[in-house]
Amino acid sequence: MKIDVLTLFVDSLKAYLSENIAGRAMEAGLLEVGLHDFREYTHDRHRTVDDSPYGGGPGMLLKPAPIFEALDDLDLWKAHKIFLTPSGRPFDHQTALRLSQHDHLMILCGHYEGVDQRVRDVMDEEISIGDYVLSNGSVAAMVIIDAVTRLIPGTLGNQESAENDSFCDGLLEFPQYTRPEEYRGQKVPEVLLSGNHQLIAKWRREKQLELTRERRPDLLEKMQDQKKDN
C-alpha cells in the first residue's frame, strides 16, 4: 500500500512514522509513505499558502493553487483522495477497514480556518477523527495511518490481534488478564482459568455487551439499526 500526505508539518510526521507500527511496515516493504510539504509549490518569496476568504470572515483559507500543483507534480489524481476536516464523516474501524482495501491513499491535512472549496470538490471523501478542532490535520493523519496500517496483512506479528481488536465486531473489547493469577488482592476470574473455551467465549461476550452498554450505548443502537436494515 502507498500513502501520500500533503501537509505543512512534514517533520512531525517523519518523527512519528520512525517510531511506530507504520515505520516497521515500511521497513518490511508492506507500506510506502510519501510526505510532501505543499508550501514547496508556491511561487512568491514568502511561500504563501493561505489568504483571506472572499466575502469576509475571520481566519485564513488554504489557497487552491499549491495543492493542485502538488497533485499534478506528484501524480496523485488517481489516488483515493481524503481531506481531513472536523466537518467530515466520522472515522471508525469500518472506515479504516475500507481504506485499507485501497492500493493508494492521498491525505490532505488542513490548517488555518479551512481550505478553498475548489480543493474540497476534487476530494473523494472528507473524514473527521472527532468532534473537536485540532491546530492542524497532521495529528489526524497520524491516527488514520496507524489505524489503516494495522489492517494490512503481515503488518502485525499476529494478524489475529487486528481481527480481535475493539470495534471489529461493533463492541468494545472484553477485559483481559495475564500472570500472576493474583496481584494485590485482585484475582483473575475463575472462568479464564477453567480451560473451557465455550464458557470463556460466553463470558467474554457478556463482558463486551456490559462494557458497551455502560460506555458506548450508541454502538449497540447502531448494531440494532443495522439488523433492522438487513
| Residues annotated as catalytic (active site), given as ranges | 86, 113, 150, 165
Q: What single letter denotes the amino acid at residue 210?
A: E
- Which contacts of 163-168 are long-range, i.e. CB under 8 A and separated by 24 or more positions? 165/93, 166/93, 167/92, 167/93, 167/219, 168/93
Task: Return the exposure string of 62-96: e unless at least 16 CB atoms fall within 10 Å of the residue's CB, then b.
Answer: bbbbbbbebbeebebeebbbbbbbbebeebbbebb
Dmax (CA) for the chain in angstroms is: 71
| CA–CA dist 89, 159 (Å, integer) | 27
Residue holding cell 475548489? 118
Cα-atom radius of gyration of the chain, to the nearest Å? 22
- Residue 178 grid coordinates: 495475564
Q: What single letter denotes the amino acid at residue 92?
A: D
| CA–CA dist 163, 150 (Å, integer) | 10
How far, CA to CA in Å, does 162 sit from each of 3, 32, 165? 20, 20, 5
